[in-house]
Amino acid sequence: MTFDIAIIGGGIAGASLAWSLGVRSGGRLNVALVEMEPAPGYHTTGRSAAFWVESYGGPGIVPLSQASRAFFDAPPPGFADRPLLHARDAVMLAPPDDAEIHGGALAAMAAEFDRGGVAYTSVDAAWLAASPLAGLLRPEWLTAGLLQADCFDIDVAALHQGFLRGPPGWKPTLVTDAEVTAMARAGDAWQLTTRAGPISAATVVNAAGAWADGVAGLAGARPRGLMPLRRTMAVLAIDPPPPADLPITMDAGERFYLKPDAGRLWLSPHDETPDVAHDVRPDEMDLALVIDRFEHATRTRVRRLEASWAGLRTFAPDRLPVFGWDGEVDGLFWCAGQGGFGIQTAPAAGDLCAALLLGEAPAVAATPYRATRAALRV
């Protein structure tokens, strides 16, 4: 199996990059998506809370989110058979102990929005009392908040499958059950040893998510200090059920967030527990903690825990993605460190990395994310 470019990782990062390479090259490249699982998207991509909130990730990520918006609003013809976005407000609430959290968590969040140029509206107790949140939360949680009205649920499955199909007339070669166990540079090409057989490619892209620093080690490259952080999600049946128009709701103190889904409530403790790359599972203590927090904040009754899962959100030390040529190892390119914002930034991030790979001008400034800046820190 010989390719121009082998992308290690078939999640949203690798799939969006492959799609963008097909578009920018006019279909002239032979690209492989090398996925260690039987199907792509098994890990972080398939376990996302799946929403687009412009402010998510902070000011350094906002340009990628903003640049991705047009793609979500109007995907290319044939990309998906249904809309990728469904409108849903997002509200950041002042917790009852807000003054004790870093001098005011809601004010700190508003300042961060201002730095990122994010549009929002401050809302008061009267507005919150008239919102769908009034039937869910106790009065002490309904004193002040920040409303982002231009937010959405994302159809992650449709997005990922659209990227995997490739643009019209071209698609990447998907190689599954192909964990990479060794890499060696021979002349102008990489030789990859995988469970699915050997793969040869002039360029290798490290889009392996939580496994990215391990892949770098196989290539003889320095790690970037990428840290997988566990994030837990619980799916609750509550009485009464959450209203369908309930906004994405976040505690500004970052102790929980929630959203409705098909009559159930998705609830996360907003945890970021350092972990290692593996098929992560939720911790029982994290689940108990967030349900307890919810019960102290809510008017409703938790009937049962219907499902739970955990995913790994992988960050570089500065919490910005790592995009670009390695700078020290020939033919190695990084597309990693997308944290929890990889899905909502995938269209712009994929295009940015494709442009860098092909020596073209990206639509979003690459400097903040260049892999070489991470190499200098480690």
Specify whether the CB–CB gap between 172 and 33 falls below 8 A.
yes
pLDDT, one tens digit per residue, over 293-302 is 999 999 999 9
pLDDT, one tens digit per residue, over 157-211 is 999 999 999 999 999 999 999 999 999 999 999 999 999 999 999 999 999 999 9
- Mean pLDDT confidence for 71-84: 96
The pTM assigned to this predicted structure is 0.94
pLDDT, one tens digit per residue, over 23-57 is 999 999 999 999 999 999 777 666 677 889 999 99
Domains of the chain (ranges, CATH numbers): 2-78+155-226+317-377 (3.50.50.60), 89-150+228-315 (3.30.9.10)
